Amino acid sequence: MSNKIKHLYWRAGFGLSPKEWQQRQNWTIQQAVDALFAEAKKIKPIPVPVRDLDLGALRQMDKKEAAELLKKERQLVAQQNIAWVQRMANPNENSLLERMTFFWHGHFACQSKSGILAVTQLNTLREYALGNFRDLVLAIAKDPSMIRFLNNQQNRKDSPNENFARELMELFTIGRGHYTEQDIKEARAFTGWSSTVLGNSFSGSGSTILVRKPLWGRKVISTVTTSLTLFLKNVKQQILSLEKFIAILSTKK
């Protein structure tokens, strides 16, 4: 049984420290799985850095000031990357949650150029990493980092930007051969979700989203409920429960 426990923690996390191994080597698989999920529920969100800056101040910056700001943002992103690696190696953190966050971070490929956006996206992934895939996809669609990475802030009802829609269908969910060009054109369903260059996200409520996109000074109206249902209709509604999945993995060599 001890070898199975060791194998489980390598597959569901990043292994066990010597202290953890001494404590858990005689556990049953069920005990280990229950502990992994119970510990994951106790993890709190990562504190988001505070930036004393608004769009007005940003627009008034000269090139030198803007370059200095970009340099600071790159440094903040690097610091967050280091902090994340440290969390993965920290036995006081939940290895399953960090492993699944790492997995989803690779799945939903995105580059964050802002430290605040990077932390915000990590918190989104951590919140939904062990939950329903559909909920995770919808959360990512509203994530400021993803919005800006795939240009959804440029998406207009009458002039859709299809970058996010195509990536969503082809890479993030159902894959090539399982959607049509008409599905891609339904990108207008996402016009209600936008973000400023500072990472502030905007959304509405109900079936119709009404938001102001400050960078262009335009109002965009999109009826979302029906379109989103069509857009995501082929996304799998159910996935094998992670508890069972991990139990299966623990028996594989």
E strands, the chain, in order: 194-195, 201-202, 208-213, 218-223
Q: For residue 111, what are the CA distances in angstroms to 71, 171, 222?
A: 16, 15, 27
Number of domains in the chain: 1
DSSP state of 215: T
H or E segment to which residue 66 belongs: helix 63-89
Predicted pLDDT of residue 54: 60
Q: Which residues contact 226 (CB under 8 A, 6 or more apart)?
A: 207
Task: In whole angstroms, give the CA distance from residue 131 to residue 136.
Answer: 7
Question: Rounded to 5 degrees, what are φ and ψ at 18?
Answer: -55, -40
What is the C-alpha to C-alpha distance for residues 24 and 33, in angstroms, rounded to an integer? 11
Quickly count: other Cβ atoms within 10 Å of residue 88's Cβ: 15
Q: Which two tokens stand for residue 141?
A: 């669609």
Neighbouring C-beta atoms of residue 50, cutoff 10 Å: 7
Task: Note the pLDDT of residue 199.
Answer: 60
pLDDT score for 206: 30
Say what the pLDDT of residue 251 is.
Answer: 57
Each residue's pLDDT expressed in tens, for the chain with a length of 253 residues: 678 899 999 999 998 888 889 988 899 999 999 999 999 988 888 988 777 666 556 667 788 887 887 788 888 889 989 999 999 988 888 999 999 999 999 999 998 888 888 999 999 999 999 999 999 999 998 888 888 888 777 777 777 777 888 888 899 998 988 888 888 877 667 776 777 666 665 553 332 233 333 332 233 223 333 344 444 443 333 334 455 555 555 555 5
pTM above 0.95, yes or no: no
Within 13 Å, how many C-alpha atoms sit on residue 16's CB side?
18
Range of the domain at 212: 2-249
Determine if residue 105 is left, alpha or beta; phi over 0 gives left, psi from -120 to 50 gives alpha, anything else beta.
alpha
Helix (H), strand (E) at residue 84: helix 63-89
Task: Quote the pLDDT of residue 185.
Answer: 76
Residue 114's pLDDT is: 83
Residue 72 confidence (pLDDT): 83
